[in-house]
Amino acid sequence: MDLDLRHQLGNAERSLQQKLIQLGTNENTASVLICLHLQGSATSKDLQCHCNIRQPDVSMAISELREMNLVHHSPQTEPTRGRPAHIYRLRMNLEQSIQPFINRAKKRAKEILSDVEAIHDLVVKVEPNHINEFKAA
């Protein structure tokens, strides 16, 4: 497909991409993840074109996905000049591929709630003569 990712995304894919970003996923990583899901497999050049992001950003996104063991890569079968190109694809289905991002967000949410409780405990120590009804909204 010659269309960039913005033209390929339906409402559900666009919403998923935005939710991943809101959970703290790097925008380029979310774009590459969704693009690989839609394309099935792609080279770095394909991802650069389809996601409309620069090559260094594609490399960083692929590196993050590889570190999380979400992407499989294999050498491109066609001969090319310069560095050998790789073809990338998701190792798992989309639901399984987004699980590490969800787990990371849940962990961060627990840490935030723990910090809220710690703040409450500190307020009680700093202001011991007042009854505090400090609660997270």
| pLDDT score for 130 | 59
Domains, in order of start, for the chain? 5-126 (1.10.10.10)
pLDDT at residue number 78: 66
What is the DSSP code string of 55-74? HHHHHHHHHHHHHTT-EEEE
pLDDT given for residue 2 in this prediction: 40
| pTM for the model | 0.76
Q: In what order do the strands lie in the sheet with 42-43?
A: 42-43, 86-90, 71-75
Please name which of 79, 68, 56 lies closest in space to residue 25, comparing C-alpha atoms: 68
What is the pLDDT, as a whole number, of residue 8?
59
Q: What is the pLDDT of residue 112?
A: 95
State the pLDDT at residue 115: 94
- Phi, psi (5° rounding) for residue 12? -65, -45
**For every one of its 137 residues, what pLDDT tens digit does the chain have, with 9 covering 90 and above?**
344 555 556 788 889 999 999 999 999 999 999 999 998 999 999 999 988 899 999 999 999 999 999 999 887 766 666 667 789 999 999 999 999 999 999 999 999 999 999 998 888 888 766 555 555 55
